[in-house]
Amino acid sequence: MSDLAPVTQATLRSVGWFSGRRVDTDVWRVSFAETGLVMHQAAKEFLAEFGGLQVGWLGAGITRAREAFDLDPMNVWNSEEDRFAAWSEARGVKIFPVGELDHGHALLGIDEQGELYTVQPFGLATFGRLPTGMDGLVLGAMPHRVA
């Protein structure tokens, strides 16, 4: 994703990302299909490029601390699918799991339009649509709560 901020690109490169990176998403697609969550095109594209990356540092960010995140949907599999289904229904969009934030204190999801969410027990917040959403996640921008 060439539209990412240079510092976001540098951070992601430091953990194995590169422009044109592609990983197989089939295991995630098949695993979640068994639970009723269908991987949409935006999730497939996001995970093909960023799936499996882990950023493990903390530090000062733009409007919040930069937190560790792990872009592996299997961190959600067989435990939180109902939360994604409920928020998808409430928002009227399909939110597919893409990983976890802050060692599992929050989950990460993406909708069909490429909007990146943090999914928590008490609410849903958005980092925004890609590429802005990815910049917000990496650089420590506070996600905006949604109703």
| Boundaries of domain holding 13 | 6-140
88 falls within a domain: yes
Residue showing tokens 């951070």? 11
The total number of structural domains that make up the chain: 1
Confirm whether 94 is domain-assigned. Answer: yes
Alpha-carbon gap, residue 126 to 133, rounded angstroms: 8
Task: Give the pLDDT score at 82.
Answer: 84
In a domain, residue 34? The reply is yes
**DSSP states of 4-33 as a string?**
S-HHHHHHHHTTT--TT-----HHHHHHHH
Say if 146 falls within a structural domain.
Answer: no
Report phi then psi at 109, rounded to 5.
-145, 165
- Looking up residue 63, the CATH number of its domain turns out to be 3.40.1580
Q: What is the pTM of this model?
A: 0.94
Per-residue pLDDT tens for 60-105?
999 999 999 999 999 887 678 888 888 999 899 999 999 999 988 8
Indicate whether 1 belongs to any domain. Answer: no
Q: Which one-letter DSSP state was computed for residue 128?
A: E
Q: What is the pLDDT of residues 10-67, one digit of tens each?
A: 999 999 999 999 999 999 999 999 888 899 999 999 999 999 999 997 789 999 999 9
13: in domain = yes
